[in-house]
Amino acid sequence: MSKIYAVANQKGGVGKTTTAVNLAASLGYFDERVLLVDLDPQGNATTGSGIDKREVEWSGVDVLLEDVSIRQAIQSTDGGGYDLLAANGDLTAAEVELMSAEDRFHRLSRALGGISGNYDYIFIDCPPTLNILTLNAFVASQGVIVPLQCEYYALEGLSALMETMERVRETQNPNLRLQGIVRTMYDARNRLSIEVSEQLLTHFGDQVYETVIPRNVTLAEAPSYGRPIIYYAPSSRGAYAYVDLAAEMLDKAERVKQAEKVTEESNNGVE
């Protein structure tokens, strides 16, 4: 079964889509089977993956409105190492139509359920707002990855996101959890970056990924060329950072797997 993670932050401009695209590409680099779901009507993850969002035949809106199956809508990225469910401005229409649907929060979950055995990881790039698309992502996911820029209002925005996650846990998806916080656009010369980073580590401990994504010009350039950073500038600091983040995620998953195995063997022994 796939590990399904929403990549979300209710504040824009924090490296959310950059993280979704480059984490997908980096895990693909490690031969993991990865699907990236672009659920943002801006379609930035789509264009950042080298796909023209204006020319997409089937996209997320068609899947959410159940006009086509998700298998029909998924497409390969050109050299990106992952598959993509594309998005464009038409997703706004899905928001409107889903508001009156009885199962409006579970459309994405149901669609992904039919293909979860095909992928090791599924990442959902959420809109930078709390809306029905974001709620679909949270209902479909096991965890939320939060890219967070180390700046003054970061913790305030994170608090609002955690409250949203708690409401979803209580009403729609009791298994939803905080998968991890990724510190993005980090500048070690900036005192505020250091202070916010320290606060995150104090409050969230090992839920903060050790890997830090630096402020890096090539990371900002890569989307305009439709290339993940490891293919646009493989020797850049940004590329190394996202490969390290992917490796850390894989290592964490393996440690969790081993711990569950030990627990299972222990329980079997007691019985």
**Would you list the domain boundaries of the chain?**
3-244
Task: Identify the DSSP state of 126.
Answer: -
197-230 burial, b for 16+ CB within 10 Å, e for fewer? beebeeeeeeebbebbbbbbeebeebbeebbbbb
Condensed to tens digits (0 to 9), the pLDDT of residues 161-196 reads 999 999 999 999 999 999 999 999 998 888 888 998
pLDDT-above-70 percentage for the chain: 98
| Mean pLDDT to the nearest integer, 248-252 | 93
Tell me the one-letter amino acid at 204. F
Higher pLDDT, residue 267 or 60: 60
Mean pLDDT of the chain: 92
Res. 68: pLDDT tops 80: yes
Res. 263: pLDDT tops 90: no
* Separation between Cα atoms, residue 219 and residue 271, nearest integer Å: 53
Neighbouring C-beta atoms of residue 242, cutoff 10 Å: 27
Determine the topology of domain 3-244 in CATH: Rossmann fold (3.40.50)
The three-class DSSP label of residue 174 is coil
Residue among 147, 45, 167, 160 at smallest CA distance from 105: 167
Res. 236: pLDDT tops 90: yes
Res. 271: pLDDT tops 80: no
